[in-house]
């Protein structure tokens, strides 16, 4: 009998270790409790009361809030993956394509120094090239596609529901998605907004596939954009004035949902936070520019 009780105790202790891992907050004084003396019902109740935040187990709302706060405040800018290849100059691309002569390029460069216009716009103003020719050259320069014609109605109710404020800040407008590849086709204007694309990926978990359009088309699309209606998604972002308030709201959501993932990126002097729960996705905007993070034009993530 004693051997049976000992074996039962060992099994209970082993299962308890699996059911109740340590709190992911290393500064937490409360560690994984010993469930060997508890009934199975008590163990299940304690397991249910735990919270999973960013795939880690936390023992309480307070520990989740501290983890969210550290993630929002202490995240560093994502390091570059390598030295970017220097793109070919736009004027050289247009000249190689036989669209302008060296004399026209020299004239445009001189005029651009006086007007402050970019070389592509200056060449257009002088009548040497069309806007479509410049757009195609800019796409070649950036190594992406371009859309010479675009129906802005395509940006209404795209299945990927993003708040209007987020789309207008990033200036990336989704118009088509590929759920299998987790890829979103977006339109944007030149120069290719690489920092915004990285922020988009970190906030949504989707890879943006960019297509360049003219400034006029992009502005029309930004006005026309409306997020899709998803019952699990709050389309309007909640605006907060400090990171502490954002961390508290993340913790409240974690308590309600029991399992949440926080994604965030710093961009355009704001911190964007996306909270993904089992039942709902919420977006936050932290507008206070005095938060601790540095390099806020570069995206950061959890």
Sheet strand arrangement including 173-178: 145-146, 207-212, 183-188, 173-178
**Number of other residues whose CB lies within 10 A of the CB of residue 294:** 10
Whichever domain contains 162, its CATH number is 3.30.300.160
- Both 38 and 26 in one domain: the answer is yes
In a domain, 83, yes or no: no
- Both 154 and 192 in one domain: the answer is yes
Name the helix (H) or strand (E) containing 262. Answer: strand 259-267
- Both 217 and 235 in one domain: the answer is no
258 Rama class: left (phi>0) / alpha (psi -120 to 50) / beta: left
pLDDT tens digit string along 212-263? Answer: 999 999 999 999 998 877 666 666 788 898 899 999 999 999 999 999 999 9
For 202, residues 6+ apart whose C-beta sits below 8 A from its C-beta are 78, 263, 264, 265, 299, 300, 301
- Both 203 and 258 in one domain: the answer is no
In a domain, 296, yes or no: no
- Both 171 and 236 in one domain: the answer is no
In a domain, 212, yes or no: yes
Give the global pTM: 0.75
Task: Enumerate the β-bridge partners of residue 158.
Answer: 227
Do residues 211 and 144 make contact, with C-beta atoms less than 8 angstroms apart?
yes
- Comparing 159 with 292, the larger pLDDT belongs to 159
In a domain, 240, yes or no: yes
State both tokens at 122.
């200056």
Give CA–CA dist 173/196, Å, rounded: 11
Identify the pLDDT of residue 143: 92
Identify the pLDDT of residue 13: 45
- Both 139 and 150 in one domain: the answer is no
Decide which of 227, 258, 274 is a domain's last residue. Answer: 227
- Both 219 and 241 in one domain: the answer is no
Name the helix (H) or strand (E) containing 227. Answer: strand 226-227
The chain-wide mean pLDDT, for the chain, equals 80
Give CA–CA dist 234/37, Å, rounded: 43
- Both 61 and 130 in one domain: the answer is no
pLDDT tens digit string along 108-137? Answer: 989 888 888 888 888 989 999 999 999 999
Residue 75 has pLDDT above 80, yes or no: no
- Both 106 and 132 in one domain: the answer is yes
Short-list 278, 276, 272, 252, CA closest to 262 = 276
Q: Which residue do the tokens 């961009």 mark?
A: 267
Do residues 88 and 119 make contact, with C-beta atoms less than 8 angstroms apart?
no
- Both 155 and 213 in one domain: the answer is yes
In a domain, 102, yes or no: yes
- Both 216 and 160 in one domain: the answer is yes
Residue 301 has pLDDT above 80, yes or no: no
In a domain, 244, yes or no: yes
Handedness of CA 105, 109, 115, 117 (dihedral sign): positive
State both tokens at 44.
């299940």
The residue segments making up the domain with residue 254 are: 231-286
In a domain, 294, yes or no: no
In a domain, 190, yes or no: yes
Number of folded domains in the chain?
4
- Per-residue pLDDT band for 200 (boundaries 50, 70, 90) equals very high
Give CA–CA dist 191/17, Å, rounded: 53
- Both 208 and 236 in one domain: the answer is no
């Amino acid at each position: 009998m004693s051997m049976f009780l000992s074996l039962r105790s060992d099994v209970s202790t082993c299962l308890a270790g699996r059911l109740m891992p340590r709190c992911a907050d290393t500064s937490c004084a409360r560690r994984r409790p010993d469930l060997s003396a508890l009934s199975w019902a008590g163990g299940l109740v304690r397991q249910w009361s735990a919270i999973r935040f960013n795939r880690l187990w936390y023992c309480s709302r307070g520990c989740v809030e501290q983890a969210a706060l550290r993630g929002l405040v202490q995240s560093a800018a994502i390091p570059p993956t390598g030295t970017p290849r220097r793109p070919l100059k736009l004027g050289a691309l247009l000249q190689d394509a036989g669209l302008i002569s060296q004399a026209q390029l020299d004239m445009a460069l001189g005029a651009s120094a006086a007007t402050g216009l970019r070389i592509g716009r200056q060449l257009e103003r002088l009548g040497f090239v069309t806007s479509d020719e410049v757009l195609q050259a800019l796409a070649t320069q950036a190594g992406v596609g371009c859309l010479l014609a675009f129906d802005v109605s395509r940006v209404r109710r795209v299945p990927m529901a993003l708040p209007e404020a987020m789309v207008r800040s990033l200036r990336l407008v989704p118009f088509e998605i590929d759920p299998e590849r987790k890829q979103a086709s977006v339109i944007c204007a030149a120069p290719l907004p690489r920092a915004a694309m990285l922020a988009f990926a970190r906030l949504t978990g989707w890879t943006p596939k960019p297509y360049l359009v003219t400034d006029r088309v992009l502005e029309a699309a930004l006005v026309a954009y409306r997020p899709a209606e998803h019952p699990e998604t709050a389309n309007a972002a909640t605006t907060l004035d400090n990171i502490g308030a954002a961390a508290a709201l993340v913790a409240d959501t974690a308590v309600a949902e029991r399992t949440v993932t926080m994604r965030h990126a710093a961009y355009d002097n704001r911190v964007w936070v996306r909270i993904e729960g089992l039942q709902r996705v919420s977006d936050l905007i932290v507008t206070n520019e005095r938060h601790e993070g540095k390099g806020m034009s570069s995206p950061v993530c959890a």
